[in-house]
């Protein structure tokens, strides 16, 4: 890890030189003493699984970190490319013991269980904000899990995609079949079907969050099958969006705005606006209020946003999309409502049932809805 600013190994060495006694003392300091030291500044640690400028997920978090860094009295320490292994535990301990971090943003899904849970028990006075995890009763109360309902933007992308597509075959390059990814695929399909009931979404799972060659292969295979709009849920959409543009088809972005990569074919995109939850959680910590254990929000709460429409989206399509978005902003729109069948024919949401965005059932989604071509 030649590139990381805070190498855990280096810290370990410093710790050893400083003597185990000193290290133990830091840990034994009561929270009050820790606060006194930080009376003038509040230190926040942010941990990323990839590079901060990946045109994707990590960049979306880095933008939020850069925003809170500018707030008065806040100091931010960051570390990139921390694997979802025991490494993240070392990084968290180093940030707490060496940098005096009072709050940690652990931004990757796989950090949660068991690493964040373990560290939260060991350091009850540090706040742990995890992105994407599902906090439940019985877990340490100094953990907060936050996430955004980006499926709302995916639904809007689906509308733009199906309305612009000529073949009505849409493609989705996905990393792993976890609930958040499945929810996005399903919302994309439901949005597409809302304007064209014959539209389909073909899915390819690459198996991991960042596999550029496989993502390019997946994109090319889908395009060969006649797909003419591509979107994706991988850590860095750069390869998929660039491949779509090179082959002259349309694309919808994800994580951050990728319009500059596809000036012709970029339709719209689903973007995170992490600075909203970051600011809420940091403010909350600074004023000493209890940790918010479960924080969610969508378009209405400003946790997510859509990319500006590209030149290929017709005025009529923009109108449809904007009308739905207005309803979402009023909290009057339900994406997942019955009767809804999965693509094996099983009913997954019964007729008459409407699952609002906040419903935790949606966060354990384990099916692909009818119209999605692919298996989990």
Nearer to another protein, 119 or 218 (CB): 218
Nearer to another protein, 334 or 376 (CB): 376
User: Nearest approach, Cβ of 353 to another protein (angstroms)?
Assistant: 28
Q: Using an 8 Å Cβ cutoff, are 161 and 250 in contact?
A: yes
Nearer to another protein, 125 or 225 (CB): 225
Phi, psi of 336, deg, nearest 5: -100, 100
Nearer to another protein, 28 or 260 (CB): 260
Could you tell me which of 217, 186, 113 has the C-alpha nearest to residue 336? Answer: 186
Nearer to another protein, 227 or 348 (CB): 227
Q: Using an 8 Å Cβ cutoff, are 170 and 195 in contact?
A: no
Q: Residue ranges of the alpha helices (H) in 177-261? A: 179-195, 212-224, 238-246
Retrieve residue 206's tokens: 């690459």
User: Nearest approach, Cβ of 234 to another protein (angstroms)?
Assistant: 10
Nearer to another protein, 208 or 283 (CB): 208
Task: Give the bridge partners for 200, in sequence order.
Answer: 169
Report angle CA 108, 110, 114 to the nearest 5 degrees: 125
Nearer to another protein, 47 or 101 (CB): 47
Dist. CA 202–CA 227, nearest whole Å? 8
Q: What are the distances in angstroms from CA 42 to CA 15, 115, 221, 286, 289?
A: 22, 23, 49, 7, 15
Secondary structure tally for the chain: helices H, strands E: 12, 17
Burial of 85 per CB tally in 10 Å (0-12, 13-18, 19+) = exposed
User: Nearest approach, Cβ of 255 to another protein (angstroms)?
Assistant: 14
Q: Using an 8 Å Cβ cutoff, are 236 and 253 in contact?
A: no
User: Nearest approach, Cβ of 152 to another protein (angstroms)?
Assistant: 26
Q: Using an 8 Å Cβ cutoff, are 177 and 376 in contact?
A: yes
| Structural Rg of the chain based on CA atoms | 22
User: Nearest approach, Cβ of 237 to another protein (angstroms)?
Assistant: 11
User: Nearest approach, Cβ of 238 to another protein (angstroms)?
Assistant: 6
Question: DSSP string covering 332-364, please?
Answer: ---SEESSEEBTTS-EEE-TT-EE-TT-GGGGG
User: Nearest approach, Cβ of 90 to another protein (angstroms)?
Assistant: 19
User: Nearest approach, Cβ of 374 to another protein (angstroms)?
Assistant: 5
Nearer to another protein, 123 or 205 (CB): 205
Residues that bind another protein (CB under 8 A): 1-3, 50-51, 53-55, 81, 171, 202-207, 210-218, 220-225, 227, 236, 238-239, 242-243, 246-247, 260-261, 373-376
User: Nearest approach, Cβ of 321 to another protein (angstroms)?
Assistant: 27
Nearer to another protein, 353 or 373 (CB): 373
Q: What are the distances in angstroms from CA 239 to CA 6, 84, 213?
A: 29, 23, 8
User: Nearest approach, Cβ of 29 to another protein (angstroms)?
Assistant: 35
Dist. CA 130–CA 2, nearest whole Å? 26
Nearer to another protein, 40 or 224 (CB): 224
HSE of 342, CA atoms in CB hemisphere, 13 A: 14
């Amino acid at each position: 890890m030649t590139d990381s600013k805070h190498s855990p190994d280096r810290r370990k060495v410093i710790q050893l030189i400083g003597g185990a006694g000193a290290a133990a003392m830091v840990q034994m300091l009561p929270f009050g003493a820790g606060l006194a030291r930080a009376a003038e500044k509040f230190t926040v640690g942010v941990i990323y699984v990839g590079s901060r400028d990946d045109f994707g997920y990590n960049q979306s978090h880095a933008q939020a970190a850069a925003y809170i860094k500018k707030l008065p009295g806040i100091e931010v320490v960051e570390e990139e490319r921390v694997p979802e292994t025991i490494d993240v535990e070392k990084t968290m301990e180093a940030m707490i013991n060496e940098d005096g971090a009072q709050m940690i943003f652990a931004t990757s899904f796989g950090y949660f269980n068991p690493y964040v849970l373990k560290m939260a028990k060991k350091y009850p006075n540090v706040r742990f904000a995890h992105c994407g995890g599902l906090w439940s009763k019985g877990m340490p109360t100094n953990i907060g899990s936050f996430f955004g309902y980006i499926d709302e933007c995916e639904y809007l992308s689906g509308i733009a995609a199906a309305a612009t597509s000529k073949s009505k075959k849409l493609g989705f390059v996905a990393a792993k079949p976890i609930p958040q990814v499945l929810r996005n695929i399903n919302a994309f399909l439901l949005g597409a079907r809302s304007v064209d009931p014959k539209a389909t979404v073909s899915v390819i799972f690459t198996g991991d969050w960042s596999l550029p060659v496989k993502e390019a292969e997946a994109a090319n295979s889908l395009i060969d099958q006649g797909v003419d709009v591509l979107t994706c849920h991988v850590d860095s959409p750069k390869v998929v969006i660039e491949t779509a543009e090179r082959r002259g088809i349309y694309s919808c972005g994800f994580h951050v705005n990728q319009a500059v990569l596809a000036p012709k074919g970029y339709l719209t995109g689903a973007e995170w606006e992490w600075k909203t939850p970051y600011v809420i959680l940091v403010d909350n910590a600074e004023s000493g209020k209890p940790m918010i254990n479960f924080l969610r929000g969508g378009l209405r709460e400003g946790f997510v946003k859509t990319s500006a429409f590209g030149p290929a989206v017709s005025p009529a399509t923009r109108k449809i999309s904007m009308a739905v978005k207005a309803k979402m902003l009023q909290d009057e729109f339900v994406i997942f409502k019955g009767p809804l069948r999965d693509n094996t024919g099983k009913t997954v949401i019964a007729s008459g049932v409407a699952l609002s965005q906040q419903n935790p059932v949606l966060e354990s989604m384990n099916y692909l809805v009818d119209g999605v071509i692919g298996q989990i």
